[in-house]
Structure 1
C-alpha cells in the first residue's frame, strides 16, 4: 500500500501544481523564492527561476486570472475597457497643481500579467543612450545597451501580423529574437491614415524622418509600431511566461487573489535585517497567512505596489513610518520619492471622412460587425492597438527652451527622444468626457523626458488602503514648454501636403488655443497620465547615499530582498516601459541565479 502511495502521490501533486491556487491553505509554507506580483517582472522571474527543478518558486498575485477575458485580450479594446474594472487597482492621484488641481485616475493591472494585460501593448526598447546612461549612473556595465540587447533577443519571438502582409521595409527582423516567449508583431489591419503618415515622412523628411525599425537603439523618427500582439491576441506577460507548459512545472506555484501585506524580517548572522517571509490576505477582514522564503523574496508589485509594500514593511523614512505606527527596519527616505511619469496630451482634428474608427464608437451596428469579423476571421480593425506608427523626436539644440532651462537634463542623450507622437484614425482621449459625434484624427503627444517629479507616501498602515499618489505633473515649467512645442509640431505635421483635403482643421476642443498662453492653458486643462510611473525604488548611483536598491536590484540595508519592476529604473524611458521591464527582469533572473549558483 505504501509503495502505491509513493507512485500515486507525485502524480497527484503534479496535477495540483499545474493549476492556479486561490486558497493559501493548499500551498506549501515555505519556498526557495517567493515572488510578489505577477506583472512583467514577477512573471519573468518566476518563470526563469523555476527552470531550475530543484528550486521551489511561489508567485503571488493580488488580482484575478487573465484567462477568457475578451475585453482585455482583444487589442482594439485596450483603450476602452480597462478603467475602473475589477482587473485594475483603480488608484487616483491627489489634486495636481500643474493641471489646475485636477484629480486623475491612475490605473495599474490587478490581474495575472499585471499592467501588461491592460496596457496599449506598444513595445519600445529605448535608445542606446537610455541604457548606457543607466550603466554610467550605477557603475554596472551589465545595464549598458551592448549588454542588455542580448536579453531582448532572448525574450522576443517575431510573429506575422494578423493580415499576413509583406512587412519588408517595416522593421528589421534580424535585430529581433525568433524563439523567445514573448510575441512581437506589426499592425495587422490598415487604416486610412497609414499612408498619409508615411507620405509625410517623404514630403517633410527633415522634420519627420522615416526609420525602418525604432528598436535598434536609435529610435528618432517615425517607424511602424511594434506591439506585444500574437496574431490577433494580446501577448501579455501571463500569456508569454505563465503559459500552461510553464504552470505545469511541479516546482512553480501561482497563488492569485491574495495580497501580500508585509515582508517579515529577522536578524541574520551579521546582525542585518533579513527578509524571511511574507504575510498575505485576500481582504481586510480575511485571515492572514505567512509564507517563508529560504533564499530570496522578490517584489514585483510595480512602481506603486513595491514602494508601498516596502514602507508597510518598515523600509522608508523613519519619522514618516513612526507616524503610521510602523516599526522602522531600515531608514531610507528615498522610498516612494523621485516618481516620474510621462504627461500625455491628445490633439484632435476634424477628418474629411466617413470611414474613421469613430464609427465603431458611435454606432453599435458597426461595432458589432467589426467584432463579428474579428471573431470569425481574425481580421479587421480589432486586431490592432491604438496607433499604426510611432514618432519619437527632439527639438533643435538651439531651441529657446534649452536656454531658459540650461540645467534640465533633456533626455538620456542625443539618440533619445524628448517627445512622442501616436496617431489614431478617430477620436482618442484619456479624459472622462463624452465621445463626440463626427469624424476625427488624433495625435497623442507624450513628453518623454519630463523634469517634474512626484512622490508616493502611505495614507495608512492598512495595506488595503491606497497610498497617497502625487505624480507632480507639469510642476516644472520646462514640461509645459515642451508640451507647447509638441502641440505646435503636431500641427505642423497635420498641415503637411499629404493631409490636404483630409484635415478639415482643429477640432472645437482646441480650435481657440492659438497663442502660447492659450496653448499652455489647453495643455494644463487636458494633460493626463499615460501610466508609465517609475523610479520610486530607484537604483543607487555610483556616488552612493541615494537610491533604494543597488545595481543588482537588492534592497539596501537588508538582505534576502530584491525589487524587479519598473520602479527601480533611475530614469524614465524615452518611450514605453513594457519592453524595458521584460529585459530588466530577464537580466535580474540571471543575477539571482548567479547569486545562488553554488548553493
Structure 2
C-alpha cells in the first residue's frame, strides 16, 4: 500500500510538472491572461505621444489611489487587499513566477539561488563582510526563492511593534488558507526533532504555526507534491477591475512636489523591459499614497536615489536633496547562521526547513537534507552557492573570492556521490545586536548598493553562536540521531574524511574551547536571508510606516523591522501586507470598508 501511495504521489507530481512545463513552452502570457488578467509587461503601459521630459512617456489616466513599488512578500497581499476598494498599480522589477520550474518545485530550490544571470528570480550580492547573499527579483518576492518555512511571530513581538492583535490574528489565517500547507514530515526532520527533545529543547509542541519555546514542526508553502505556492498567488484575491500589475517595471525614483511646506510624493519614474521610461502618477485624492515594498535593500536604496537620505551621501552622487535624513540605510541587520553537515550511511530524502528548536539561549535550531541525491549539478551542493544556505564552506568570508569558488567547484566534481549523503543542522542567532548599513555606490537602481552587516561585532551575538554550536554537538551525539545515521565509528570516520574533501563544516573538534568556537563562528558564518532594517520606525518612518518629513509616502516591508519576527520572517511579512492593507482601508472608509 505504501509503495502504491508513493507511486501515485510521484505520478501526480510528474503530471503537475509536465503541465507547468507545457504551459511554459506555450507562452507564459497565456497563464497570466487566464488566471491573472491584470498582470502585464511594463512595456504595455499606455502613454501619450508628448513626453514631459526627454525619453519619458506619460500615462494617460487620472492617476492611481495607490502605487506599490515591489510585488514581493508584503507587496502582493497589500495590493490584493487595497484593490478591494481603490485603484492600485503594482510595479515589480522582476518577471512572473508562473511557469518557472526553478521557482515552482522544491527539487529545483538551489537553482535560482545559484543562477547569476539577469533573468534569475534572485539577484546575488556580497556584503562587505564577504558573505554571499541573495535578494528576490520576481513577482512574489522572497516566497519564490526561499526554503518555504512558515511560522508566526511571538505574541510578545506583536505587542512590541504595536500591532492590533485582533487584526493580526485575522490576517495570518487569510494568508494560510490560500498558500500554506502542513509538510510531508521527512526522516531527517524527524531525527532532528527527536535529537532536540533528547537534549532538552522541550516540550514538543507538535505541528503549529505559533512561536513557542521547545521543539515544533512548522508550516510550509510547498504542498504535498513539492510545488511552491507564492505571495503572487494571493493576487487571485484582488479585485481585477481595480488592480494593475506590471512586471519588469523597475522604479528608478519617486517624484515629489516640493512647492509646499513638506515634500509630497506624486508619482514614480520606471523603466520597462525594453529600457523605455514611463511616469505613473497618484490621483489627486487627498489620501492617495506611494507605498514602498521593495525589501530591506530595495526600499532604502530607492529612498536614497529619490533624494531622501544623508545630505553628504546625496551630494556625492549629485542627487537633488528632497529631505535630509541621516538614518536612511542605517541599522541593517542580518541574523548570522552557522551550519554543520552530518554524513549518513546512505542517501537521505530531500527536505527543507520543517523542524525548529526554539531555545531560551537566543538561538534557533533548524535542519535541511538530501540535496546531494536530488540534482544533476552535484558540484554545487554543500558549497559556496549551495541550496541550503547560500554557501556552506570552511573558507572564511573574506577569502570567498570568485577564484576560490571556481576552484572549489572543480574539486567537488571528482568526489564520489556518497560524500553528499547526509544533511545539515542549522543554528541561527536570534535578535542579533550587531548592525551595519546600506550606502549607494552609484545611481543605477539595477546595481546592488554597498551593504555591511558587521556579523558578530557585538560579543553577545558571538556568545549565542557558541552556545548554539554546543547544542548542535549534543544533538549529533544523541542516541536518536546516531540510530538514524546508522554509522559505526569506522564508517563515520571514513565518511567524515570524505566530507573534509567536500569542504563542508563538520562538528568542531574543540567544542570545550570557547575561543576556538568563537573563531569557528566567524570563519563559517553564512546567511539565512533574514536581513532587515534600513528604514527603522522612529528614524525613517513613523509608527504607521509613513516616511517622516514627507507626505503620501509609506514603507511596508522588512526594512522597518528592528528584529526579524519569529524563527523565520516569511509568515509575518505576508501577514503584514494583509494587515496594513486592511488597516488603511478601515482608516479611510470605516465600516464602509466591509473588510
How does the TM-score come out when normalised to structure 2? 0.76
Residues of 2 paired with 1:394 and 1:430: CA distance?
A: 27
Per mean C-alpha deviation after superposition, the further-off stretch among 85-94 and 328-337 is: 85-94
**Residue aligning to 2:206:** 212
CA distances 1:103-154 after superposition (whole Å, capped 9, x unpaired): 232211111101111111111211112122222xxxxxxx154552222123
> What is the correspondence of 1:8-27 to structure 2 with a 5 Å cutoff?
18-26=38-46
Shift of 1:529: 1.2
Structure 1: which 4+ aligned runs deviate by more than 6 Å? 13-16
Is 1:68 matched with 2:90? no
**Residue aligning to 2:276:** 287
Residues of 1 paired with 2:299 and 2:195: CA distance?
A: 43
**Residue aligning to 2:250:** 259
Q: Which runs of 5+ in 2 are unaligned?
A: 1-32, 48-58, 372-381, 383-387, 392-404
Residues of 2 paired with 1:423 and 1:118: CA distance?
A: 15
Counterpart pick for 1:110 among 100, 112, 137 = 137
Shift of 1:76: 3.2
Is 1:326 matched with 2:308? no
**Residue aligning to 1:394:** 360
Is 1:126 matched with 2:153? yes
What SS does the aligned partner of 1:478 have?
helix
Residues of 1 paired with 2:355 and 2:122: CA distance?
A: 29
Go from structure 1 to structure 2 and tell me whether the alpha carbon gap of 1:56 and 1:95 turns closer, same or farther (over 3 Å shift): closer
Go from structure 1 to structure 2 and tell me whether the alpha carbon gap of 1:500 and 1:249 turns closer, same or farther (over 3 Å shift): closer
Residues of 2 paired with 1:333 and 1:106: CA distance?
A: 26
| Contact 2:257 2:263 (8 Å CA) reproduced | yes
CA distances 1:503-533 after superposition (whole Å, capped 9, x unpaired): 5376534355413333222222221111111
CA distances 1:167-202 after superposition (whole Å, capped 9, x unpaired): xxxxxxxxxxxxxxx3211222533x3443343355
Residues of 2 paired with 1:210 and 1:558: CA distance?
A: 49
Go from structure 1 to structure 2 and tell me whether the alpha carbon gap of 1:442 and 1:231 turns closer, same or farther (over 3 Å shift): closer
Root mean square deviation of aligned Cα: 2.7
What SS does the aligned partner of 1:333 have?
coil
Q: Which runs of 5+ in 1 are unaligned?
A: 1-12, 97-102, 136-142, 158-181, 358-380, 396-416, 541-546
**Residue aligning to 2:545:** 553
CA distances 1:258-279 after superposition (whole Å, capped 9, x unpaired): 20000011147x6211100100
Go from structure 1 to structure 2 and tell me whether the alpha carbon gap of 1:513 and 1:210 turns closer, same or farther (over 3 Å shift): same
Go from structure 1 to structure 2 and tell me whether the alpha carbon gap of 1:49 and 1:511 turns closer, same or farther (over 3 Å shift): closer
| Contact 1:420 1:575 (8 Å CA) reproduced | no
Residues of 1 paired with 2:584 and 2:167: CA distance?
A: 17
Is 1:81 matched with 2:63? no
CA distances 1:395-451 after superposition (whole Å, capped 9, x unpaired): 2xxxxxxxxxxxxxxxxxxxxx53333243566553255466422232011111211
| Contact 2:167 2:579 (8 Å CA) reproduced | no
Is 1:424 matched with 2:418? no
| Contact 1:228 1:235 (8 Å CA) reproduced | yes
Residues of 1 paired with 2:313 and 2:305: CA distance?
A: 11
> What is the correspondence of 1:157-196 to structure 2 with a 5 Å cutoff?
157=177, 182-188=178-184, 190-191=186-187, 193-196=188-191
What SS does the aligned partner of 2:64 have?
strand
Residues of 2 paired with 1:78 and 1:342: CA distance?
A: 21
Go from structure 1 to structure 2 and tell me whether the alpha carbon gap of 1:586 and 1:495 turns closer, same or farther (over 3 Å shift): same
Go from structure 1 to structure 2 and tell me whether the alpha carbon gap of 1:45 and 1:144 turns closer, same or farther (over 3 Å shift): closer
Go from structure 1 to structure 2 and tell me whether the alpha carbon gap of 1:588 and 1:442 turns closer, same or farther (over 3 Å shift): same
Shift of 1:90: 2.4
Residues of 1 paired with 2:563 and 2:36: CA distance?
A: 42
Shift of 1:215: 2.6
What SS does the aligned partner of 2:74 have?
helix
CA distances 1:456-487 after superposition (whole Å, capped 9, x unpaired): 01111233332111122222232222111111
Go from structure 1 to structure 2 and tell me whether the alpha carbon gap of 1:15 and 1:591 turns closer, same or farther (over 3 Å shift): closer
What SS does the aligned partner of 1:152 have?
helix
| Contact 1:133 1:144 (8 Å CA) reproduced | no
How does the TM-score come out when normalised to structure 1? 0.75
**Residue aligning to 1:148:** 168
| Contact 1:134 1:144 (8 Å CA) reproduced | no
Residues of 2 paired with 1:321 and 1:155: CA distance?
A: 39
Shift of 1:570: 2.5
| Contact 2:436 2:453 (8 Å CA) reproduced | yes
Residues of 2 paired with 1:590 and 1:275: CA distance?
A: 22
Is 1:312 matched with 2:305? yes
**Residue aligning to 2:401:** none
> What is the correspondence of 1:573-588 to structure 2 with a 5 Å cutoff?
573-588=565-580
**Residue aligning to 1:226:** 219
| Contact 2:94 2:248 (8 Å CA) reproduced | yes
| Contact 2:389 2:526 (8 Å CA) reproduced | no
Residues of 2 paired with 1:91 and 1:213: CA distance?
A: 33
Go from structure 1 to structure 2 and tell me whether the alpha carbon gap of 1:496 and 1:16 turns closer, same or farther (over 3 Å shift): closer
What SS does the aligned partner of 1:532 have?
coil
Per mean C-alpha deviation after superposition, the further-off stretch among 459-468 and 108-117 is: 459-468
CA distances 1:535-590 after superposition (whole Å, capped 9, x unpaired): 211212xxxxxx21111111110111111111112322241111111121112112
- Count of residues in correspondence between the two structures: 486
What SS does the aligned partner of 2:464 have?
helix
Is 1:44 matched with 2:94? no
Counterpart pick for 1:536 among 526, 534, 549 = 534
| Contact 1:392 1:421 (8 Å CA) reproduced | no
What SS does the aligned partner of 2:110 have?
coil
What SS does the aligned partner of 2:282 have?
strand
**Residue aligning to 2:441:** 459
| Contact 2:336 2:428 (8 Å CA) reproduced | yes
Shift of 1:19: 4.3
